[in-house]
Amino acid sequence: MSFTAPSSNVTSWDLIFCPQAKLEVFPSRALTVPQTSLLLKPRPHWPRILIWSPLPRPHWTRTSFLCKLTGRLMLAVGGAVLGSLQFGYNTGVINAPQKVIEEFYNQTWIHRYGESILPTTLTTLWSLSVAIFSVGGMIGSFSTSLPIPGRNSMLMMNLLAFVSAVLMGFSKLGKSFEMLILGRFIIGVYCGLTTGFVPMYVGEVSPTALRGALGTLHQLGIVVGILIAQVFGLDSIMGNEDLWPLLLSIIFVPALLQCIVLPFCPESPRFLLINRNEENRAKSVLKKLRGTADVTHDLQEMKEESRQMMREKKVTILELFRSAAYRQPILIAVVLQLSQQLSGINAVFYYSTSIFEKAGVQQPVYATIGSGIVNTAFTVVSLFVVERAGRRTLHLIGLAGMAGCAILMTIALALLEQLPWMSYLSIVAIFGFVAFFEVGPGPIPWFIVAELFSQGPRPAAIAVAGFSNWTSNFIVGMCFQYVEQLCGPYVFIIFTVLLVLFFIFTYFKVPETKGRTFDEIASGFRQGGNSQSDKTPEELFHPLGADSQV
């Protein structure tokens, strides 16, 4: 009975499973081995027959190999990711109709005061309309530390989306730009909650072998939302004087859909077992999510995490920074969020149209939509490779690629007047910049934060990480135009330096979390060293000994 691992350099070996020294032979036809479950690297002295022991890895059981996507799991993840789509849509929707909304501000001002609005006042109002979204996001992200279960929290926060849709949709009819600004703030709070609750819920319902791939769906929802906003924002669709209120208020549709879907989604089994101590209900939910009656290893993992949580006192946001056990993972979580926002990606998204105009592109709005398509396509690529390549590796590749593209972008914009063909290089550089972002820095910081912490400190850690993300987002959105005016075409050199610094930090400080349980990752930080996943196979198979032969 041979054993083949298609995504590794292990070729074909007989496999014997050894639970507590009791041998059991698995037929090779029944095995589908995910890369995350295979931590073997061939050694010259290894025999053809291997003995596997579950002692280093309690979750190495028959079901580890038979992990699959079930309908209930896809429903749970899909229902949650509707919130991610809202986040992306509201991030990108405000840019396309800028001129018609500014004209609405001017007409409202004339209606009230009998004179046109001053350019400086108009700029201030528009900047406030854009930036208030991030302010709401900061507040919402901090609220994710509240002890509310994931499914119910996502269900309740849709009330914010409905209120925001009403305010923005009727702002023109009410001749009130204050309604629009308030609506942007409220939907910002909603999106801040989304950036915390969605990755946390998806991570808790997903099996270890699929946690990275399913976690990437949060970012996929965001980029699809941005792309939809870019398309709907075209003048010929809804980005015109008559339909822009509908463009802003159509967010009620995904909110309504999520309200319909979420009641059919299961509660997080981790929340049920660890927070509510409802083992039977957690077991029932796990059976539906995994599509199997044998969920013993999942329950054992959660119980071990629960026992560890009981030994810890309640973790507050301040405790994350005071405790030596949490200081390193919270530093990693914050820096990874900063690496996402300070990479320069939002500078490209917020001002891509003007960048393409300066690059001499005749139809910049369509080039912007093209960047959105690239954005979506490479998020899908990340979805399929994250469990093979690993989080840390993809993040390093993304940061390095973005730094290279930022240098190309700087060269192209600096030489554009002398060499008109440089406009094509600038487009390639922007598309490459976006593509590398979605390989690593785009999706990974969202879900790796949930992986770095056990159930106890996870909500507080996600709140801190989300606040860091939204704050840096706000800073880039407010300051980029001024910095661009000061630095001209060399503005992306600043982002290049930051990308290099983030690369160095990731290389030396960020652990690989692929294929490891939440408690294993947390234990690695508690022990102050590498966890078992970083050891060699000889060290992992400690019942045999490093030099033992079968």
pLDDT in tens, 321-336: 888 889 999 999 999 9
Which of 15-24, 126-135, 482-491 shows the highest mean pLDDT? 126-135
C-alpha atoms less than 13 angstroms from C-alpha of 452 in its C-beta half-sphere:
30
pLDDT at residue 481 tops 80: no
Residue 38's pLDDT is 41
Residue 514's pLDDT is 86
**Confidence class for position 124, pLDDT limits 50, 70, 90:** confident
Same CATH topology for 69-265 and 312-521: the answer is: yes
pLDDT tens for residues 29-72? Answer: 334 444 444 444 444 443 333 333 333 444 433 333 335 789 99
Q: Which residue has the higher pLDDT, 48 or 320?
A: 320
435-98-225-345 Cα dihedral, nearest 10 degrees: 30
**Confidence class for position 96, pLDDT limits 50, 70, 90:** confident
**In the chain, % of residues over pLDDT 70:** 80
pLDDT at residue 491 tops 60: yes
pLDDT at residue 209 tops 80: yes
**Confidence class for position 146, pLDDT limits 50, 70, 90:** low
Between CA 182 and CA 168 the distance in angstroms is 8
- Token look-up 């530093």 returns 331
324 CB contacts (<8 Å, ≥6 apart)? none
Residue 516's pLDDT is 84
pLDDT tens for residues 280-298? Answer: 999 999 999 999 988 998 8
| Mean pLDDT value across residues 411-429 | 86
Q: Which residue has the higher pLDDT, 154 or 12?
A: 154
Residue 39's pLDDT is 41
pLDDT at residue 270 tops 50: yes
- Grouping H, G, I as helix, E, B as strand and the rest as coil, residue 12 is strand
Residue 164's pLDDT is 98
**Confidence class for position 539, pLDDT limits 50, 70, 90:** very low
Q: Which residue has the higher pLDDT, 437 or 455?
A: 437
Residue 280's pLDDT is 93
Q: What is the CATH number that goes with domain 69-265?
A: 1.20.1250.20
**Confidence class for position 135, pLDDT limits 50, 70, 90:** very high
Residue 37's pLDDT is 40
Residue 130's pLDDT is 87
Give the other-Cβ count within 10 Å of 530's Cβ.
Answer: 11
Give the closest residue to 470 by CA, choosing from 81, 56, 91, 50. 91
**Confidence class for position 142, pLDDT limits 50, 70, 90:** confident
Angle made by CA atoms 329, 398, 523, in degrees to the nearest 5? 20
- The tokens describing 252, both together, are 């009620």
Give the closest residue to 444 by CA, choosing from 503, 398, 406, 495. 398
Q: Tell me which fold the domain 312-521 belongs to.
A: Growth Hormone; Chain: A; (1.20.1250)
**Confidence class for position 346, pLDDT limits 50, 70, 90:** confident
Residue 517's pLDDT is 79
252-258-263-268 Cα dihedral, nearest 10 degrees: -130
Residues 274, 522 contacting (CB under 8 angstroms): no
Residue 14's pLDDT is 35
pLDDT at residue 115 tops 70: yes
Residue 148's pLDDT is 63
- Grouping H, G, I as helix, E, B as strand and the rest as coil, residue 3 is strand
pLDDT at residue 217 tops 80: yes
Give the other-Cβ count within 10 Å of 360's Cβ.
Answer: 16
| Mean pLDDT value across residues 432-454 | 90
Residue 482's pLDDT is 78
**Confidence class for position 359, pLDDT limits 50, 70, 90:** low
Residues 292, 66 contacting (CB under 8 angstroms): yes
Residue 518's pLDDT is 74
Residue 23's pLDDT is 34
- The most distant pair of C-alpha atoms in the chain lies apart, rounded to whole Å, by 91
CA distances (Å), origin 232, targets 117, 167, 227, 295: 28, 20, 9, 45
pLDDT at residue 101 tops 70: yes
Task: Please name the amino acid found at residue 225.
Answer: G
**In the chain, % of residues over pLDDT 90:** 47
**Confidence class for position 313, pLDDT limits 50, 70, 90:** low
Residue 41's pLDDT is 42
pLDDT at residue 546 tops 60: no
The residue extents of the domains of the chain are: 69-265, 312-521
Q: Which residue has the higher pLDDT, 385 or 10?
A: 385
pLDDT tens for residues 513-527? Answer: 888 877 788 777 766
410 CB contacts (<8 Å, ≥6 apart)? 489, 490, 491, 492, 493, 496
Residue 369's pLDDT is 85
Between CA 153 and CA 548 the distance in angstroms is 52
Q: What is the mean pLDDT of the chain?
A: 81
